[in-house]
Amino acid sequence: MKPIKVGLLGVGTVGAGTWHVLQRNQEEIRRRAGRGIEVTMVAARNLERARRIVGEAVEVVGDPFAVVNHPEIDIVVELIGGYELARDLVLQAIANGKHVVTANKALLALHGNEIFEAAQAKGVMVAFEAAVAGGVPIIKALREGLSANRIESVAGIINGTTNFILSEMRDKGLDFATVLKQAQELGYAEADPTFDIEGVDAAHKLTIMAAIAFGIPMQFARSHIEGISQLQAVDIRYAEQLGYRIKLLGITRRTVVDGAEGIELRVHPTLIPAARLIANVEGAMNAVLVKADAVGTTLYYGKGAGAEPTASAVIADLVDVTRLATVDPYQRVPHLAFQPAELADLPILPMEEIRTAYYLRVYVQDQLGVMADLTRILAEAGISIDAVLQKEPGEKARTDIVIITHQTREKYVNAAIAKIEALSTVVAKVIRIRLESFS
Amino acid sequence: MKPIKVGLLGVGTVGAGTWHVLQRNQEEIRRRAGRGIEVTMVAARNLERARRIVGEAVEVVGDPFAVVNHPEIDIVVELIGGYELARDLVLQAIANGKHVVTANKALLALHGNEIFEAAQAKGVMVAFEAAVAGGVPIIKALREGLSANRIESVAGIINGTTNFILSEMRDKGLDFATVLKQAQELGYAEADPTFDIEGVDAAHKLTIMAAIAFGIPMQFARSHIEGISQLQAVDIRYAEQLGYRIKLLGITRRTVVDGAEGIELRVHPTLIPAARLIANVEGAMNAVLVKADAVGTTLYYGKGAGAEPTASAVIADLVDVTRLATVDPYQRVPHLAFQPAELADLPILPMEEIRTAYYLRVYVQDQLGVMADLTRILAEAGISIDAVLQKEPGEKARTDIVIITHQTREKYVNAAIAKIEALSTVVAKVIRIRLESFS
């Protein structure tokens, strides 16, 4: 059987990694796929750099539409990033009847519904394993490996930059700004790190996982996003003393509120008991924890970024697409795991309605009755307390009181915090960090 | 599209679990598969029990061949276990042109080559996700998720019974026999626990993973198998003091010996640095660590046994088989990950040739020069020492010296041990436990 022909859009880090792995493991991949997978055309902004990478035998062009419109290309691999040009290219490739492989989480989180609808209408595949958790085959696990299950929740460390920063803050007791600077020097954080540190990248990936876990459309705009830039070293230390680690988690979960089911979709710093496997995922690694009704809890761990880990996922998709290039669409795994006509319309819940536990740090003027006030306010709100950490008074007899609550609804906690902050003995805003026990 | 028809062989723990999950999640599964999956016929030894489980609408028979030979059955699910009757049934189902889903690791480890050859010739699928690590989709990860990679090694905690026993021995400082008895009372170990505690079950699963990781035939007979029944509590304690946990691992790895590549295939108790994620897999849980050239290290974790976790994998296979029931065989993932004509003939290496590090416990008469003798023997064998733990002399001035070596070939260690045991100051057999650092 003659090789399938692939057009590569972008020869940056992941594009070059994809090229190199395809060359190095050519034999291994052909032995698996039963058919060669050949990059015959490449589009790049820097033509010289691209030629240095792919050599003379491959056509290198500056216009990515020349690839997308080329009649001999079977599969387009979109690795240019961004979501305007990428959207146009992917839609054009689909219109031309080509299959698409992409690592572009932003594109899918924002325009996935439109893209999958077009692909469905045209009977082509859009594969995106590389869009979430790099080389970890989490899309395949959620869409195929767990297809027997009613998935209950997905929670993941899905941004390596922030996990690296949090690991360093904890290990070395440093503050956020110092570690971010080091991470930038080491290449673990970009010059403009906003998308990573503010949780936007994690929210893109979480949006995709929520869609395939629950069979709902992509709803990035409805995700709740908090990053780690406001996180203080002191809270990492207190959490540690209470037996917890703080991770930036993307969490999506079915929740029943007042008898109706909805979906939580949220990215924020989260306390996790230190004994949990996912609490021990350090440095730039990724891990995704899935809870489902039949299988229980499963966890998937590995490198979430980098040239070759991401290339691993891109090429796995190429192999899958190569196998199924000509079968009837109904014989393929649906893009969003569920058949297009079978998507659910579960609403994304407002944050006020989510249920979780909380870490509250209250900075108080140490005087008789402070603790009694706090516990009374929480009790009146129906919030029960799991643990308390009270520090020795410091300057001006002020001190931190840390309270870990049991699960409750966020709106009850917010109301209680407003009352706490109104106390004359409370001298700063209450620090509130959500807590998941994963028990 | 009308439902696909499934015949179930066996309604024991996993069979009943499969039935229940298929009923409970019927809608969820149909929304994914795009087609109903319907069990229409069941074979069971205990007809009454089977009827109580599946009700009146399903035909229940005593003769499993009646299912395998029934013209209307599309997929046979083999859950009766064992490898004689099961082999005949699976081969007959294949001969009848039916697809097969099985959770039977012993069957595949022993007769997989014959079964896959028959399935290949007939153009049917034999799916076996449930045969390894229960509901964890590790077969899918190895065969499809990592298809871009040259896989270097696979190491797994793939027997929940032994991991439960080892966790208890460490947590409570108890000896093997005591914990085994408790495990039997709790239902974590069977009345005859031999297959689990002697590592045979793990070796079945490892044989399957090695085949799909490296594209080699099943070679169970060539696997090296050591269980945990000889493991002493004192070694778990010493390992802990040195920063290690002891786990029963199945390990398979490419190794180059004297310029030629071969495969290590071995199950044995193994020291692992306590900081590694896999060292923290506790109780009856499973985890598999895969090292591959592009993706690096990935880990897959979850419940390795039980009715519903195993059913989760059986049904995921049913969904896959349902989708691809009528496509051309070359459009499916090959049984052993590689195309049948592309299997490799890498030899399984004799244990003497494997490379790993070692924990050696030497019980000595404490007198001047003992340590010098030990270090001299190891140095002469070209084995370097990573750490030493020497205990205070106990009764009759005897004591344990524990040595952790760096990586070396097993034959060098065995030769050194023979020399150590010949020393007049060494008063017992040397305890040797292999060590993997996974760094």
Q: What is the mean pLDDT of chain B?
A: 96
Identity of the residue in A29, A299, A330 whose CB atom sits nearest the CB atom of B302: A299
Q: Summarize the confidence of residues A380-384 as an average pLDDT.
A: 97
| Chain A interface, best mutation among B295, B301, B330, B438, by max A CB count within 10 A | B295
> What is the three-class DSSP state of B175?
coil
Separation in Å, CA of B438 to nearest CA in chain A: 14
> Among residues of chain A, what percentage have pLDDT more than 70?
100
- Which H helix or E strand runs over A43? strand A37-43
Residue type (1 letter), A398: R
Q: Cβ of A312 and B294 within 8 Å?
A: yes
Residue B364 has pLDDT above 90, yes or no: yes
pLDDT value at residue A297: 98
Nearest CA in chain A to B343: A31
Instruction: Say how far apart CA A177 and CA A197 lie, in whole Å.
Output: 11
pLDDT tens digit string along A97-138?
A: 999 999 999 999 999 999 999 999 999 999 999 999 999 999
> Which of A366-375, B112-121, B143-152 has the least mean pLDDT?
A366-375
Q: Summarize the confidence of residues A185-200 as an average pLDDT.
A: 94
Residue B426 has pLDDT above 90, yes or no: yes
Residues of A whose CB is below 8 A from B313: 145, 148, 295
Identity of the residue in A31, A280, A337 whose CB atom sits nearest the CB atom of B339: A31
Active-site residue set of A = 205
> Among residues of chain A, what percentage have pLDDT more than 90?
95
> What is the three-class DSSP state of B124?
coil
Separation in Å, CA of B109 to nearest CA in chain A: 21
Residues of B whose CB is below 8 A from A293: 24-25, 308
Residues of B whose CB is below 8 A from A279: none
Nearest CA in chain A to B288: A300
Separation in Å, CA of A43 to nearest CA in chain B: 22
Backbone φ/ψ region at B72: left (φ over 0), alpha (ψ -120 to 50), beta: alpha
Q: Cβ of B148 and A333 within 8 Å?
A: no
pLDDT tens digit string along B243-292?
A: 999 999 999 999 998 899 999 999 999 999 999 999 999 999 999 999 99
Cβ contacts of A418 within 8 Å, gap of 6 or more: none
Q: Please name which of B399, B412, B406, B391 lies closest in space to residue B366, comparing C-alpha atoms.
A: B399
> Among residues of chain B, what percentage have pLDDT more than 90?
95
Looking at chain A, the domain(s) classified CATH 3.30.70.260 span 354-435
**How big is the CA angle at B76 (ends B50 and B40), to the nearest 5 degrees?**
50
- DSSP bridge pairs for A139: none
pLDDT value at residue A381: 97
Residue B120 has pLDDT above 90, yes or no: yes
- Which H helix or E strand runs over B269? strand B260-273
Nearest CA in chain B to A299: B301
Q: Give residue for tokens 């190891």.
A: B378
Looking at chain B, the domain(s) classified CATH 3.30.360.10 span 139-295
Task: Classify the C-alpha dihedral B20-B23-B27-B30 as positive or negative.
Answer: positive
Cβ contacts of A341 within 8 Å, gap of 6 or more: none
| Chain B interface, best mutation among A27, A312, A333, A335, by max B CB count within 10 A | A312
pLDDT value at residue A160: 96
Q: Please name which of B182, B138, B191 lies closest in space to residue B309, comparing C-alpha atoms.
A: B138
pLDDT band at B367 (very low <50, low <70, confident <90, very high): confident
Architecture of domain B4-127: 3-Layer(aba) Sandwich (3.40)
Identity of the residue in A312, A323, A333 whose CB atom sits nearest the CB atom of B331: A323
Active-site residue set of B = 205
Q: Give residue for tokens 């240095």.
A: A52
pLDDT value at residue A187: 87
Residue A393 has pLDDT above 90, yes or no: no
With 0-12 / 13-18 / 19 or more C-beta atoms within 10 angstroms meaning exposed / middle / buried, residue A102 is buried
Identity of the residue in A30, A297, A330 whose CB atom sits nearest the CB atom of B34: A330
Query: Which stretches of A294-354 are assigned E, i.e. beta strand?
Result: 296-303
Identity of the residue in B31, B137, B148 whose CB atom sits nearest the CB atom of A25: B148
Query: Helices B307-324 and B26-33: crossing angle, nearest 10°?
Result: 30
Nearest CA in chain A to B212: A32
Nearest CA in chain A to B336: A32
pLDDT tens digit string along A65-91?
A: 999 999 999 999 999 999 999 999 999
Residue A173 has pLDDT above 90, yes or no: yes
Residue B383 has pLDDT above 90, yes or no: yes
- The answer to whether A145 touches B129, Cβ cutoff 8 Å, is yes
Residues of A whose CB is below 8 A from B34: 330, 334, 339, 342
The alpha-helical segments, DSSP class H, found in B187-299 are 194-197, 200-214, 233-241
Residue type (1 letter), A83: Y
Identity of the residue in A29, A312, A342 whose CB atom sits nearest the CB atom of B295: A312
> Which of A209-218, A360-369, B73-82 has the least mean pLDDT?
A360-369
Looking at chain A, the domain(s) classified CATH 3.40.50.720 span 4-127
First-to-last C-alpha distance (Å) of chain B: 51
Residue type (1 letter), B283: G
Q: Cβ of B339 and A294 within 8 Å?
A: no
Looking at chain A, the domain(s) classified CATH 3.30.360.10 span 139-303
| Chain A interface, best mutation among B149, B288, B326, by max A CB count within 10 A | B149
Q: Cβ of A281 and B280 within 8 Å?
A: no
Separation in Å, CA of B342 to nearest CA in chain A: 6
Rg, C-alpha atoms of chain B: 24
The Cβ of residue B157 has, within 10 Å, a number of other Cβ atoms equal to 28
pLDDT value at residue B401: 96
Instruction: Say how far apart CA A2 and CA A210 lie, in whole Å.
Output: 38
- The answer to whether B269 touches B247, Cβ cutoff 8 Å, is yes
Q: Cβ of A302 and B298 within 8 Å?
A: yes
Identity of the residue in A135, A318, A333 whose CB atom sits nearest the CB atom of B298: A135
Separation in Å, CA of A118 to nearest CA in chain B: 19
pLDDT tens digit string along B178-236?
A: 999 999 999 889 999 999 999 999 999 999 999 999 999 999 999 999 999 999 999 99
Residue type (1 letter), A272: I
pLDDT value at residue A332: 97
Classify domain B139-295 at the CATH superfamily level: Dihydrodipicolinate Reductase; domain 2 (3.30.360.10)
Please give the CATH topology (third level) of the domain spanning B354-435.
Alpha-Beta Plaits (3.30.70)
Domain A139-303 class, CATH top level? alpha beta
Nearest CA in chain A to B22: A148
Q: What is the mean pLDDT of chain A?
A: 96
Q: Cβ of B315 and A299 within 8 Å?
A: no
| Chain B interface, best mutation among A6, A19, A29, A31, by max B CB count within 10 A | A31
Q: Please name which of A427, A436, A432 lies closest in space to residue A230, comparing C-alpha atoms.
A: A432
Nearest CA in chain A to B142: A137
Nearest CA in chain A to B298: A302
pLDDT tens digit string along B9-23?
A: 999 999 999 999 999
Residue type (1 letter), A114: E
Cβ contacts of B357 within 8 Å, gap of 6 or more: B386, B404, B405, B406, B407, B408, B434, B435, B436, B437
| Chain B interface, best mutation among A28, A285, A289, A298, by max B CB count within 10 A | A298
Identity of the residue in B17, B22, B144 whose CB atom sits nearest the CB atom of A316: B144
- The answer to whether A208 touches A156, Cβ cutoff 8 Å, is no
DSSP for B228-257, please give it: STT--HHHHHHHHHTTEEEEEEEEEEEEEE
pLDDT value at residue B132: 98
pLDDT value at residue B90: 98
pLDDT tens digit string along A224-270?
A: 999 999 999 999 999 999 999 999 999 999 999 889 999 999 999 99
Separation in Å, CA of B318 to nearest CA in chain A: 9
With 0-12 / 13-18 / 19 or more C-beta atoms within 10 angstroms meaning exposed / middle / buried, residue A83 is middle
- The answer to whether A399 touches A365, Cβ cutoff 8 Å, is no
pLDDT value at residue B123: 97
Residues of A whose CB is below 8 A from B135: 146, 294-296, 298
pLDDT band at B330 (very low <50, low <70, confident <90, very high): very high
Residue A169 has pLDDT above 90, yes or no: yes
Instruction: Say how far apart CA B359 and CA A50 lie, in whole Å.
Output: 50
Q: Please name which of A45, A35, A37 lies closest in space to residue A10, comparing C-alpha atoms.
A: A45
